[in-house]
């Protein structure tokens, strides 16, 4: 299967320090990839570089063979439409209500869509993620778990084929977390690509085709999900690495 994204000798520096250094990896389309490792090891930065949210200090990130940093406006919009991000802190607009937050991706990528169709899509996606409250309230009125549901719903609005997820089940109760895990599994079944950061080895075993251990801003090791599931010694070792 062809690669959808590739990082070539990527580095990212902040205040003169290398957060990510000489990182290379190609994500095959239709597969799921877990980015794991110790806190501060660079996995969330690798995710943001992969999603084109950060411009590498060195190296190149390409989507379907095109350098993301060199894309024109139209190409970049197509990339943003096909790929969607769920941030660890949800990153919801504080000065907009839930309806406005969820309609915004549709207004950007489907400017001719009617208000009725936008509202229908919002209701559909909120049903998928299990959100039951009003949509005319702002994020500050929601719990952290509810904000995560809205962030996930926003990512699904344009039916992306590429999902970037940063600790997307944090702050959720078990039932809500399982609902989102099931939605990610459905994306896998449909042949979509998923790249996610997680500290939860159970989720990694469940969803990842490939798991990348990132430490010190570099790719330390890689495994298949089957290896992690079947090798108990490896599982215990990775639990220690993730918790460190």
pLDDT tens-digit map of 74-95: 999 999 999 999 999 999 999 9
pLDDT tens-digit readout, 214-228: 999 999 889 887 888
In tens, the pLDDT along 126-182 reads 999 999 999 999 999 999 999 999 999 999 999 999 999 999 998 899 999 999 999
Examine the pLDDT at 232 and tell me if it is beyond 80.
Answer: no
d(CA 130, CA 163): 19
Q: Could you tell me the two tokens for 219?
A: 């790719």
Question: Could you tell me which residue, 227 or 197, shows the higher pLDDT?
Answer: 197
Q: What is the mean pLDDT of the chain?
A: 93
Using the predicted structure, report yes or no on whether residue 15 has a pLDDT greater than 90.
no
Give the tens place of pLDDT for each residue, 37-58.
888 899 999 999 999 999 999 9
Q: Determine which of 31-35, 194-198, 237-241 has the lowest per-residue pLDDT on average.
A: 237-241
1, pLDDT greater than 80:
no
Tally the residues of the chain.
Answer: 244
Give the CATH number of the domain where residue 36 resides: 3.40.50.300
Residue 25 to residue 9: CA distance in whole angstroms: 8
> What secondary structure does DSSP assign to 120-141, as a single string?
HHHHHHHHHHT--S-SSS-GGG
Show Cβ contacts of residue 191 under 8 Å, excluding neighbours closer than 6 positions: 29, 30
Q: What is the domain count for the chain? A: 1
CB atoms within 10 A of CB 91: 13
d(CA 6, CA 233): 31
Spell out the residues 6+ positions from residue 76 whose beta carbon is closer than 8 angstroms to its own: 52, 68
Range of the domain at 194: 3-243
């Amino acid at each position: 299967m062809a690669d959808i994204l590739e990082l070539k000798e990527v580095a990212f520096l902040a205040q003169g320090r290398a957060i990510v250094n000489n990182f290379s990896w190609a994500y095959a389309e239709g597969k799921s990839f877990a980015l794991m490792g110790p806190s501060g090891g660079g996995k969330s930065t690798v995710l943001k570089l992969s999603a084109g949210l950060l411009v590498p200090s060195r190296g190149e990130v390409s989507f379907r063979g095109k350098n993301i940093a060199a894309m024109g406006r139209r190409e970049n919009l197509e990339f943003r439409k096909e790929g969607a991000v769920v941030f660890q802190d949800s990153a919801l607009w504080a000065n907009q209500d839930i309806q406005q937050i969820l309609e915004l991706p549709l207004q950007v990528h489907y400017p001719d869509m009617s208000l009725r169709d936008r509202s229908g899509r919002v209701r559909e996606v909120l049903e998928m993620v299990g959100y039951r409250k009003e949509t005319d309230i702002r994020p500050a009125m929601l719990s952290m778990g509810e904000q995560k549901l809205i962030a996930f719903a926003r990512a699904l609005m344009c039916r992306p084929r590429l999902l970037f997820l940063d600790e997307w089940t944090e702050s959720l109760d078990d039932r809500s977390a399982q609902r989102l895990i099931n939605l990610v599994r459905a994306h896998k079944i449909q042949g979509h690509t998923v790249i996610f950061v997680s500290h939860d080895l159970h989720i990694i075993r469940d969803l990842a085709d490939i798991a990348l251990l990132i430490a010190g801003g570099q790719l330390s090791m890689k495994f298949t999900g089957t290896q992690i599931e079947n090798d108990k010694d490896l599982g215990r070792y990775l639990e220690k690495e993730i918790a460190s």
